[in-house]
Amino acid sequence: ILASKPEFMFDLLGAMATELRTGSKSLRTLMTNLKTGGKSDGTDAKDTLRVLCYDTTSWVSEAFKPAVEAFNKSHDDFQMIIDYTSERLGPQTATYAAGYEAVCTFVNDTADADTMQTLSRLGVSMIAQRAAGFDRIDTKAARAYGMTVARVPAYSPYAVAEHGIALLMAVNRKTSKASNRVKMANFTLDAGLMGMDIHGKTVGVMGTGKIGQILCNIILGFGAKLICYDVFQSEAVKKAGGTYMSQGEVFAQSDILFLMMPLLPATKHTINESMLPKLKKGVILINTSRGGLIDTKALLKGLRSGIISGVGMDVYENEQAYFFQDWSAKNIQDPDLLALLGEPGVVLTAHQAFFTKEAVNKITSTTIENLEAFKMGKHRLEHPNNCIPKDD
């Protein structure tokens, strides 16, 4: 029956999950009464919100466990229970959420339509995204299944902007290469270590949202000429000294080009093969936003032709299979990733631009606030950090 009618299986799992939640609560109450001789302080009678946290690494559990404990100590209305799994959310792992009301996800978890359907049938009604980006969440499917989806809209824009500058300096001044040589007792200088002054150069910023604006202020501090492109122009950037131009003009004039845009259908593969001839020859390219902004094959062609002299990346368009995991003892199967790692002009970090103490604290606190708001009745469009678009 289960093989021929999979929808029956999901309905059965959903019913079992509901019974599991109810039965577990009753069992905890019974055990407490047995231990206390029938006297209870009321702790186990509290309502609970059970959450499964996907894609858990050490920093996630180290940040969330004490924060949840502190939350529970300060709240008498309900208790939050978060369990952790290192598995990523996707169609094959959505069933792990049986018995939970909410799931907590990160940038490489996948909540597509199939995953949404499974979660909904299991009784999960909220996705708490512990990141700002949610391009791997099918918000239309979430709306169709009545799911609440909330994110952390801003944690530390300074962290991401500053990491972009760190990548620029690593690419331009060859600091990784220089450090490795010195560690080998090679203290010589040659042309392979030569960089350029940022002062006086033309720096293009594609995308001047919160992070982009902070980056612009840092760039101006170098004494560089700042040119920008964004559909929505920032008066603050203009006042600080930035000049808005067309995308083509920014491409043609930039000695250094930062991609600070969200990944949308209109921005996917902003850097592609047809755009290479429009770039200023020798440009340094920096991307701390989303890997899908760059067509990797086109990037490799640009590097090998000399159109792009160097690239600093904190993201990669096919990063999901590799980032946040240790592959040092395994063989990487992605030929494009292997090619990038072999290019001398590439500095690649594994999606760590956000990773500062301040940002992690903000991610943790806002995610817990998002879960609390959901438990308090702020669902779907009413949630303060809702990601689901309104009906068309």
- Six-digit token pair at 232? 């929505």
Q: Is 88 an active-site residue?
A: no
Counting every residue written for the chain, the total comes to 392
**Which residues lie closer than 8 Å to 166 by C-beta, 6 or more apart?**
none
Q: Is 319 an active-site residue?
A: yes
**Fold (topology level) of 157-348:** Rossmann fold (3.40.50)
What residue spans define the domains of the chain?
6-155+358-382, 157-348
- Indicate the burial class of 70 (C-beta count within 10 angstroms; 0-12, 13-18, 19 or more): exposed
**Which residues lie closer than 8 Å to 139 by C-beta, 6 or more apart?**
149, 387, 388, 389
Q: Is 351 an active-site residue?
A: yes
CATH number for the segment(s) 6-155+358-382? 3.40.50.720
For 164-174, letters b (16+ CB in 10 Å) and e give bbbbbebbbeb
Percent of the chain as helix, strand, coil, to the nearest 5: 45, 15, 40
**Which residues lie closer than 8 Å to 44 by C-beta, 6 or more apart?**
25, 28, 29, 32
- Which of the residues 319, 372, 379, 383 is marked catalytic? 319
Alpha carbon distance 50, 125 (integer Å): 11
**Which residues lie closer than 8 Å to 155 by C-beta, 6 or more apart?**
132, 354, 358, 359, 360, 362, 363, 366
Question: Identical fold at 6-155+358-382 and 157-348?
Answer: yes
Q: In what order do the strands lie in the sheet with 102-105?
A: 78-84, 47-53, 102-105, 126-129, 148-150
Alpha carbon distance 391, 341 (integer Å): 44
Q: Which of 218, 173, 222, 170 has its CA nearest to residue 201?
A: 222
pTM assigned to the model? 0.83
- Which of the residues 130, 269, 351, 383 is marked catalytic? 351
Say if residues 241 and 226 touch (Cβ distance below 8 Å).
yes
Written as tens digits, the pLDDT of the chain (392 aa) is 555 555 555 555 555 555 554 444 444 434 443 444 444 344 444 699 999 999 999 999 999 999 999 999 999 999 999 999 999 999 999 999 999 999 999 999 999 999 999 999 999 999 999 998 898 999 999 999 999 999 999 888 999 999 999 999 999 999 999 999 999 999 999 889 999 999 999 999 999 999 999 999 999 999 999 999 999 999 999 999 999 999 999 999 999 999 999 999 999 999 999 999 999 999 999 999 999 999 999 999 999 999 999 999 999 999 999 999 999 999 999 999 999 999 999 999 999 999 999 999 999 999 999 999 999 999 999 999 999 988 75
- Which of the residues 88, 136, 143, 290 is marked catalytic? 290
CA Rg value for the chain = 24
